[in-house]
């Protein structure tokens, strides 16, 4: 909000400078009664004011596009992160399920191998996250 107010102040200052230039030009022309010359100078000044406003609007549109793109990228990143976290959680759930099926009578080596496999899969998912960042 403050950024918008600052931009507006700068824009109004630019317009004010253009109006000051017009006043100076018209003062110099005070000796002439030519309304056509006065009209022409006023027309030039108004054209310049419109140009200043158009440029500012164009800049604002570009800034808005950049902002929208940044928001979209952030949302996509968050979605990717959530899906990766979901994948990690699924691997842990799968490990828990597999370990639950292994009887206590069975070899601990099988549990170890299942844990190692799950950790490997989780590390692969974490690597995807590093590539996104």
DSSP classification of residue 106:
S
Q: Grade residue 119 by pLDDT with cuts at 50, 70 and 90.
A: confident
Q: Average of pLDDT values for 80-104?
A: 74
pLDDT at 1 over 60: no
Q: Average of pLDDT values for 89-102?
A: 77
What is the percentage of the chain residues whose pLDDT exceeds 70? 84
Distance of CA 129 to the CA centre of its chain: 21
What is the structure's pLDDT at 132? 59
Distance from the first to the final alpha carbon of the chain: 30
Report the helix count and the strand count for the chain, using DSSP H and E. Answer: 3, 0
pLDDT tens per residue, range 48-82: 888 888 888 777 788 888 888 888 887 877 776 67
DSSP classification of residue 16:
H
């Amino acid at each position: 909000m403050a950024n918008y107010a600052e931009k507006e102040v700068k824009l109004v200052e630019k317009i004010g400078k253009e109006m000051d230039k017009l006043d100076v030009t018209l003062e110099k022309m005070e000796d002439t009664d030519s309304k056509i010359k006065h009209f022409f100078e006023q027309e030039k000044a108004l054209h310049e004011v419109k140009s200043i406003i158009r440029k500012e609007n164009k800049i604002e549109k570009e800034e808005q596009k950049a902002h929208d793109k940044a928001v979209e990228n952030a949302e996509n990143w968050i979605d990717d992160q959530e899906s990766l976290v979901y994948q990690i959680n699924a691997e842990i759930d799968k490990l828990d399920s597999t370990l639950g099926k292994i009887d206590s009578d069975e070899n601990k080596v099988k549990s170890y191998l299942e844990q190692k496999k799950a950790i490997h899969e989780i590390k692969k998912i974490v690597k995807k996250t590093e590539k996104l960042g």
